[in-house]
């Protein structure tokens, strides 16, 4: 078990993919920002991954984000070969209506979600979060996490 944890920590260091945030690409001064936080880095196969998705308005002006459906974000999990093995929206139905989110100056909106890890094998995974806004582009945020055998 100790060897597995050491290997996982080495992967964390080598990949360095635990990005904290991504800013919108519409200006040199970022007005909006995406941040993704996981509750852990290493999980057991029977646990649940909890994540927080934060959207920030770093400006002194109101920001409008427009969406083509009720879906605000997409969560994808990839294996170490970069193959998509989980897509959060796959088993969901979203209203096909135009949706608008307003962020007041210095406001933060937080979205929480959980992923049941019992569907994954022991290994290294990459979680990617993308904001589905029509008018503001955010770089997807990628996080690495590990699943170890149940103790």
**pLDDT at site 17:** 43
Cα Rg of the chain, angstroms: 17
- How far is residue 27's CA from residue 32's CA, in Å, rounded to a whole number? 10
Quote the pLDDT of residue 31.
Answer: 78
DSSP assignment letter at 12:
H
Domain tally, the chain: 1
Nearest to 101 by CA among 60, 71, 58, 142: 71
Give the residues of the chain that fall short of pLDDT 50. Answer: 6, 8-9, 13-29
What pLDDT does 123 receive?
Answer: 96
Q: What is the pLDDT of residue 12?
A: 52
Range of the domain at 72: 2-148
What are the pLDDT digits (tens) for 104-119? Answer: 999 999 999 999 999 9
CATH number at residue 118: 2.60.40.2360
Q: Name the residue among 84, 73, 38, 35 with its Cα closest to residue 56.
A: 35
Tell me what pLDDT residue 6 has.
44
- Provide the pLDDT for residue 25: 44
Element (H, E) at 73: strand 73-79
Contact 150, 118 (CB under 8 A): no
Residue 70 parent element (H or E):
none
């Amino acid at each position: 078990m100790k060897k597995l944890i050491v290997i996982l920590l080495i992967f964390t260091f080598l990949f360095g993919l635990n990005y904290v945030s991504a800013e919108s690409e519409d200006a040199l001064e970022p007005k909006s920002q995406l941040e993704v936080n996981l509750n852990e880095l290493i999980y057991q196969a029977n646990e649940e991954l909890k994540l927080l998705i934060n959207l920030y308005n770093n400006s002194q002006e109101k920001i409008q984000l427009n969406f083509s459906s009720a879906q605000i974000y997409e969560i994808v999990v990839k294996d170490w070969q970069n193959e998509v093995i989980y897509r959060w929206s796959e088993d969901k139905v979203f209203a096909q209506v135009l949706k608008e989110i307003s962020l007041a100056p210095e406001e933060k909106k937080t979205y929480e979600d959980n992923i049941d890890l019992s569907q994954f094998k022991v290994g290294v995974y990459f979680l990617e979060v993308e904001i589905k806004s029509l008018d503001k582009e955010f770089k997807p945020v990628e996080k690495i996490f590990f699943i170890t055998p149940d103790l």
